[in-house]
Structure 1
Amino acid sequence: MKAASSLSQTEPEASLEDRFRATRQLSEALVAPLSDADATIQSMPDTSPAKWHLAHTTWFLETFLLRDHLAGYTRYDDRWPFLFNSYYESEGARHARAARGMLSRPSLDEVLAWRSHVNEAITPLLGRPDLTSLIELGIQHEQQHQELLLTDIKHALWSNPLGFAYLDGGEGRTVRLSASPEWHEHPGGIARIGHEGPGFAYDNEGPAHRVLLEPFALAGGLVTTRAWDEFIADGGYRAAKLWLSDGWAWVQRENISAPLYWRDGEHFILSGWRERDPDAPVTHISYYEADAFATWAGLRLPTEFEWEAIGRGHSAAEGNQLDEAASVEPDGSDSLFGGCWQWTRSAYLPYPRFRPVSGAVGEYNGKFMSGQFVLKGASCATPRGHSRATYRNFFYPHQRWQFTGLRLAKDL
Structure 2
Amino acid sequence: MDKLTGKKTFSSLKPVDLSTCTKKDIADYFTNSYDLYESLFLGLKDDSVFYKCPDKLRLPLVFYYAHTAAVFMNKLMLAGLAKERINLPFETMFETGVDEMSWDDTENHRMGGSYKWPTMKEVVEYRRKVRELILQIIQETPLELPVTMESPWWAIMMGIEHERVHLETSAVLIRQLPIGLVSCPPGWIYGPTKADFPVKANKMVFVESTDVSVGKPNDFPSYGWDNEYGEEIFNVPSFEASQYLVTNGEFLEFVQHGGYRSRDLWTEEGWQWAQYRQARHPTFWVCDQGCKSGCGADLARETHCPPRLALISGSNNVDEPECKRARAGEYKFRVIFDVIDLPLDWPAEVNYHEAKAFCAWKGQGYRLPTEAEHNVIRGQLPVTKGVVSDIIFHDNIQANLNLQFGSSTPVNLFEASATGHYDTMGNVFEWVEDHFNGLPGFQSHFLYDDFSSPCFDGKHNLIMGGSWISTGAYGSRFARIAFRRHFYQLCGFRLARSKDIEAELPAKAVETSVYILGCGVEENKSMQEIGKQKVVWEPSSNTAYLFDTQETLEGILELEFGFRDSLAAVAARFCSNYCSCNDISTDSVVHIGAATGRTAFELSKTFKQVLGLEPFARLTDTAMSLQRGQAVTFKDGKPVQMDPEYHLDRVTLKQFTWVANEVDIHDLVLLTFLDRVQNAKAWLVRLWEIVNAQGVVAIVGKDDTWNKKSLDVELKNRLEFVSEQKLPYSDFQGKTTACITLWKRI
TM-score computed with the length of structure 1 as normaliser:
0.86
Q: Is the 8 A contact 1:46 1:98 kept in 2?
A: no
- Deviation of the 1:165 alpha carbon: 3.5
Query: Aligned residue for 2:360?
Result: 295
Residues 146 and 364 of structure 1, relative CA distance in 2, 3 Å threshold: same
Cα distance per residue 1:269-324 (max 9 Å; x no partner): 223222102112111x1211101101212321001111122225474543223537
Q: Is the 8 A contact 1:302 1:409 kept in 2?
A: yes
Q: Is the 8 A contact 2:78 2:447 kept in 1?
A: no
Higher RCO (CA 8 Å, separation ≥ 6 residues):
1
- Deviation of the 1:217 alpha carbon: 2.8
- Deviation of the 1:87 alpha carbon: 6.0
Cα distance per residue 1:335-393 (max 9 Å; x no partner): 32222111111111222332222x35111111121111111011223236632233111
- Deviation of the 1:57 alpha carbon: 0.9
Q: Distance in 2 between matches of 1:5 and 1:121?
A: 20
* Letter paired with 1:365: S
Residues 204 and 219 of structure 1, relative CA distance in 2, 3 Å threshold: same
Q: Is the 8 A contact 1:308 1:390 kept in 2?
A: no
Query: Aligned residue for 1:148?
Result: 169
Residues 111 and 312 of structure 1, relative CA distance in 2, 3 Å threshold: farther
Query: Aligned residue for 1:119?
Result: 131
Query: Aligned residue for 1:208?
Result: 231
Q: How does 1:189-268 map to 2 (within 5 A)?
A: 189-196=210-217, 197-198=219-220, 199-262=222-285, 263=287, 264-268=330-334
Q: How does 1:167-178 map to 2 (within 5 A)?
A: 167=184, 172-175=190-193, 176=195, 177=198
Please give the secondary structure, in 1, of the residue aligned with 2:475. Answer: coil
Query: Aligned residue for 2:461?
Result: 373
Aligned length: 395
- Deviation of the 1:81 alpha carbon: 2.4
- Deviation of the 1:171 alpha carbon: 8.7
Query: Aligned residue for 1:328?
Result: 407
5+ residue gaps, structure 2, are: 99-106, 144-150, 288-329, 382-390, 415-422, 500-746
- Deviation of the 1:6 alpha carbon: 4.4
Q: Is residue 386 of structure 1 aligned with residue 474 of structure 2?
A: yes
Residues 65 and 340 of structure 1, relative CA distance in 2, 3 Å threshold: same
* Letter paired with 1:275: D
Q: Is the 8 A contact 1:157 1:165 kept in 2?
A: yes
5+ residue gaps, structure 1, are: 89-95
Query: Aligned residue for 1:7?
Result: 10
Q: Is the 8 A contact 1:23 1:139 kept in 2?
A: yes
The structure whose residues are more often strand, as a share, is 2
Query: Aligned residue for 2:371?
Result: 304
Residues 304 and 166 of structure 1, relative CA distance in 2, 3 Å threshold: farther
- Deviation of the 1:243 alpha carbon: 1.2
Q: Distance in 1 between matches of 2:199 and 2:367?
A: 21
Moved more, 188-197 or 300-309: 188-197
Residues 98 and 387 of structure 1, relative CA distance in 2, 3 Å threshold: farther
* Letter paired with 1:245: E
- Deviation of the 1:406 alpha carbon: 0.8
Q: Is the 8 A contact 1:52 1:100 kept in 2?
A: no
- Deviation of the 1:97 alpha carbon: 5.2
Query: Aligned residue for 2:336?
Result: 270
Q: Distance in 1 between matches of 2:80 and 2:178?
A: 39
* Letter paired with 2:183: Y
Query: Aligned residue for 1:404?
Result: 491
Q: Distance in 2 between matches of 1:58 and 1:209?
A: 35
Q: Is the 8 A contact 1:188 1:212 kept in 2?
A: yes
Query: Aligned residue for 1:91?
Result: none
Q: Is the 8 A contact 1:265 1:276 kept in 2?
A: yes
Residues 180 and 312 of structure 1, relative CA distance in 2, 3 Å threshold: farther
Q: Is residue 318 of structure 1 aligned with residue 398 of structure 2?
A: yes
Moved more, 184-193 or 334-343: 184-193
Q: Is residue 85 of structure 1 aligned with residue 95 of structure 2?
A: yes
Please give the secondary structure, in 1, of the residue aligned with 2:184. Answer: coil
Please give the secondary structure, in 1, of the residue aligned with 2:177. Answer: helix
- Deviation of the 1:45 alpha carbon: 3.7
Q: Is the 8 A contact 2:215 2:232 kept in 1?
A: yes
- Deviation of the 1:215 alpha carbon: 0.8
Q: Is the 8 A contact 2:432 2:462 kept in 1?
A: yes
- Deviation of the 1:251 alpha carbon: 2.0
Q: Distance in 2 between matches of 1:78 and 1:319?
A: 42
Moved more, 18-27 or 38-47: 38-47
Please give the secondary structure, in 1, of the residue aligned with 2:178. Answer: helix
* Letter paired with 1:61: F
Q: Is the 8 A contact 2:161 2:473 kept in 1?
A: no
Please give the secondary structure, in 2, of the residue aligned with 1:54. Answer: helix
Please give the secondary structure, in 2, of the residue aligned with 1:274. Answer: strand
Aligned residues: CA RMSD: 3.0
Residues 249 and 31 of structure 1, relative CA distance in 2, 3 Å threshold: closer
Q: Is residue 47 of structure 1 aligned with residue 58 of structure 2?
A: yes
Q: Distance in 1 between matches of 2:427 and 2:182?
A: 20
- Deviation of the 1:117 alpha carbon: 0.9
The structure whose residues are more often helix, as a share, is 1
Q: Is residue 338 of structure 1 aligned with residue 426 of structure 2?
A: yes
Moved more, 58-67 or 146-155: 58-67
Residues 28 and 321 of structure 1, relative CA distance in 2, 3 Å threshold: same
Q: How does 1:95-114 map to 2 (within 5 A)?
A: 99=110, 102=113, 105-114=117-126
Residues 201 and 180 of structure 1, relative CA distance in 2, 3 Å threshold: farther
The one of 424, 433, 437 aligned to 1:349: 437
* Letter paired with 1:117: K
TM-score computed with the length of structure 2 as normaliser:
0.49
Please give the secondary structure, in 2, of the residue aligned with 1:192. Answer: strand
Q: How does 1:153-164 map to 2 (within 5 A)?
A: 153-158=174-179, 163-164=180-181
Q: Is the 8 A contact 1:207 1:353 kept in 2?
A: yes
Cα distance per residue 1:231-284 (max 9 Å; x no partner): 11222122222111111222233221110032132122223222102112111x
Residues 322 and 71 of structure 1, relative CA distance in 2, 3 Å threshold: closer
Q: Distance in 1 between matches of 2:169 and 2:109?
A: 15
